[in-house]
């Protein structure tokens, strides 16, 4: 289909989201605040980047009951440009108004005949600030679609940041091919035992208000850096492990047996141990470094255990 008609299939899992959009509007939305900018200049910059990407200029088409991405012609893309690079005229005064705006926008399903994402520019926000809102449908997530768009909107990019950009040896490819069927069976069995999740959005009301998480804004990153550097681990790795343990502890607090059965806490102890190199030569791993694989996991447990949980999740 791709070579003959220029169509790219939507992933099967995401196709379910597209079919069921009336009951489950699977939109992803985020907002970035920054210094006040010129929205027209920003919009033209993003237009110049997006027109070079297939997924960034492709609409959804339905053929024989299946959805495909179809690239729009230049004239059509330019004509519909204002629909998904939208400048919002209203002003937002505080975080509460921004949260309510995002919640309302997330519940709106954009049409299929345009790209499955939208940039919304809010020029007037709080004290001389502006907001850029990125909204996209769940089907954009297949094949790292969202990450590819965000990376290609930057002037500088590195393919090494993408998981798909990593090179694998022949032995690694054989191992992956061998364990894929087993992993698929395990995941299928787990999903079969789970209860169907209920949609929290489709209740006739728009969700409103700010979501309160376990971490406060007052937390300083300096404490993370101090512990991470002291244990010779990556800062992002440490924060990921802390978040994993935090979610795990929150599940136990809410007695969420269904989600807890996934055991997401195990993902932070299967990370491979990387050998440390000095000036291009591989150094010998000392006894203190042998436990590095589990060091972030143990530190995360201690740190997460020190957090006082409150029922702030809504």
What residues have CB less than 8 Å from 69, skipping those under 6 apart? 7, 8, 9, 10, 54, 55, 58, 59, 60, 61
Q: What span, in angstroms and rounded, lies between the C-alpha atoms of 88 and 74?
A: 25
> Can you give the residue ranges of every domain in the chain?
2-165, 221-305
Percent of the chain that is helix, strand, coil (3-state, to 5):
50, 15, 35
What residues have CB less than 8 Å from 290, skipping those under 6 apart? none
What is each CA distance from 210 to 105, 130, 229, in whole angstroms?
A: 14, 19, 33
How do beta strands 117-125 and 85-88 pair? parallel
pLDDT tens over the chain, length 314 residues: 454 545 655 544 334 334 444 555 667 777 777 777 777 877 777 777 777 777 677 887 877 777 777 888 888 888 888 888 888 878 888 877 888 888 788 777 777 788 778 888 888 888 788 888 878 776 665 434 455 555 555 444 444 444 444 566 788 778 878 888 887 788 778 777 766 544 444 444 444 444 444 433 444 455 555 655 655 555 555 555 555 555 555 555 556 554 444 443 333 333 333 332 322 333 333 333 333 333 433 444 444 444 333 333 32
Q: What span, in angstroms and rounded, lies between the C-alpha atoms of 99 and 210?
A: 6
- Which two structure tokens, joined as six digits, stand for 305? 């255990």
Neighbours of 288 (CB within 10 A): 9
Give the three-class secondary structure for 309. coil
- Which two structure tokens, joined as six digits, stand for 236? 């992002």
Q: Which fold has domain 2-165?
A: Chloramphenicol Acetyltransferase (3.30.559)
Instruction: Find the helix packing angle between 221-230 and 235-254, rounded to 10°.
Output: 110
What residues have CB less than 8 Å from 65, skipping those under 6 apart? none
Q: What span, in angstroms and rounded, lies between the C-alpha atoms of 186 and 189?
A: 5
Q: Global pTM?
A: 0.43
Q: What span, in angstroms and rounded, lies between the C-alpha atoms of 260 and 76?
A: 47
């Amino acid at each position: 289909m791709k070579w003959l008609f220029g169509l790219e299939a939507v992933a099967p899992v995401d196709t379910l989201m597209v079919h069921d959009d009336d009951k489950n509007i699977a939109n992803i939305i985020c907002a970035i605040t920054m210094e006040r900018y010129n929205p027209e200049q920003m919009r033209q910059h993003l237009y110049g980047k997006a027109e070079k990407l297939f997924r960034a200029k492709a609409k959804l088409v339905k053929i024989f009951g299946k959805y495909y991405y179809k690239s729009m012609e230049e004239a059509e893309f330019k004509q519909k440009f204002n629909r998904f690079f939208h400048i919002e005229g209203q002003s937002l005064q505080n975080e509460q108004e921004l949260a309510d705006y995002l919640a309302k926008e997330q519940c709106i399903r954009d049409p299929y005949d345009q790209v499955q994402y939208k940039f919304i520019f809010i020029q007037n926000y709080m004290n001389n600030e502006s907001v850029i809102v990125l909204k996209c449908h769940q089907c954009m997530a297949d094949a790292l679609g969202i990450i590819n768009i965000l990376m290609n909107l930057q002037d500088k990019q590195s393919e090494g940041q993408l998981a798909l950009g990593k090179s694998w040896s022949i032995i690694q490819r054989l191992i992956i091919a061998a364990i894929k069927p087993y992993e698929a069976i395990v995941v299928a069995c787990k999903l079969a035992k789970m209860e169907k999740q209920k949609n929290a959005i489709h209740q006739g009301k728009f969700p409103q208000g700010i979501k309160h998480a376990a971490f406060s804004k007052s937390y300083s990153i300096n404490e993370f850096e101090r512990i991470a550097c002291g244990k010779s681990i990556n800062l992002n790795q440490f924060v990921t492990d802390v978040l994993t343990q935090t979610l795990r502890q929150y599940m136990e607090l809410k007695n969420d047996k269904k989600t807890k059965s996934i055991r997401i806490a195990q993902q932070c102890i299967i990370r491979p141990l990387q050998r440390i190199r000095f000036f291009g030569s591989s150094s010998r791993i000392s006894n203190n470094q042998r436990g590095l694989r589990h060091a972030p996991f143990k530190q995360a447990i201690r740190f997460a255990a020190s957090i006082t949980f409150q029922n702030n999740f809504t």
